[in-house]
Amino acid sequence: YGKLYVVPTPIGNLEDITLRAIKVLKEVELILAEDTRKTGILLKHLEIQKQVFSHHSFNEHKTSKSIVERLLSGNTIALVSDAGTPVISDPGFFLVRECLENGINVECLPGPTAFVPALVNSGLPADRFTFEGFLPHKKGRSKRIEGLKEEDRTMVFYESPFRLVKTLEQLKEAFGSERRASVSRELSKLYEENVQGTLEELVTYFSSKTVKGEIVLVVEGCKN
């Protein structure tokens, strides 16, 4: 059988790619990408010329079957996403599971992902934490937040700049204004910003400006 390599790619700074990731991308027969154009830019930068197929959340169920067939016939394939580690709030889960069910070797390389630097920069306890990914936009949103009221581990959320203030306000409502949190914006990029404060302070700070860029929100766990 072949092998599926899950390959993390930079979340901003193009220098954040490991030597092994470059080696694997050079050696595989085929690369599966969420957005072939975005991955094309990275490959060009790395001077890698390789066949890139599209594999995104909308076609994951369908394409996984034919990929598994290729792997069974001995191909080695790399899965990448637009940024960071595939499967982490990105497509790939279904493919990994299909591979394992078919006895195909899967290897995820260690590498960039946004929640680790955000968690470390937050200064909040990182010995135990829960990764919450994106909160639901509408349906199930309040229920999810309510369900976290008693969570005593540090919580990590992915958030869009357009929804940040609304989320901070809702978390403030649910957890209280004195709960501490940290917002990491544009990690590894030119305008990286890490702001710590109470939910109240963060609401005030981010309401006063136009929020741009990519965001990870880290919130202290419940203390009692």
Q: Which residues bind ligand SAM (CB under 6 A)?
A: 11-12, 81, 83-85, 88-90, 113-115, 158-160, 184, 186-189, 214-216
Host H or E run for residue 158 = strand 154-159
Both tokens of residue 58? 């909308």
3-class state of residue 181 by DSSP: strand
Q: Which helix (H) or strand (E) holds 48?
A: none
Q: What type of residue sits at position 48?
A: I
In the bound state with ligand SAM, the residue whose beta carbon lies nearer, of 2 and 214, is 214
**Least Å distance between CB 121 and ligand SAM?**
10
Token pair, residue 172, equals 């403030």
- CB of 39 or CB of 81, closer to ligand SAM: 81
CB-wise, 214 or 220, nearer to ligand SAM? 214
Answer yes or no: are the C-beta atoms of 159 and 134 closer than 8 Å: yes
- Distance (Å, whole) CA 100 – CA 75: 15
DSSP 138: S
Residue pair 149/222 in contact by the 8 Å Cβ criterion: yes
C-beta nearest to ligand SAM: residue: 84
| Closest CB 69 distance from ligand SAM, rounded Å | 26
In whole angstroms, the minimum distance from the beta carbon of 224 to ligand SAM comes to 29
CA–CA distance, 88 with 93 (Å, rounded to integer): 8
Query: In whole angstroms, how close is the CB of 189 to ligand SAM at the nearest point?
Result: 6
Q: Which position has the token pair 């700074």? A: 13
Among all chains, which residue has been given the structure tokens 């899967």? Answer: 106
Q: Is the Cβ of residue 2 or residue 182 nearer to ligand SAM in the bound state? A: 182
- Which C-beta is closer to ligand SAM: that of 43 or that of 118? 118
Q: Shortest distance, CB of residue 84 to ligand SAM, whole angstroms? A: 2
* Residue 185 beta carbon to ligand SAM: minimum distance, rounded to whole angstroms: 6
Q: Which is nearer to ligand SAM, 26 or 38 (CB)?
A: 38
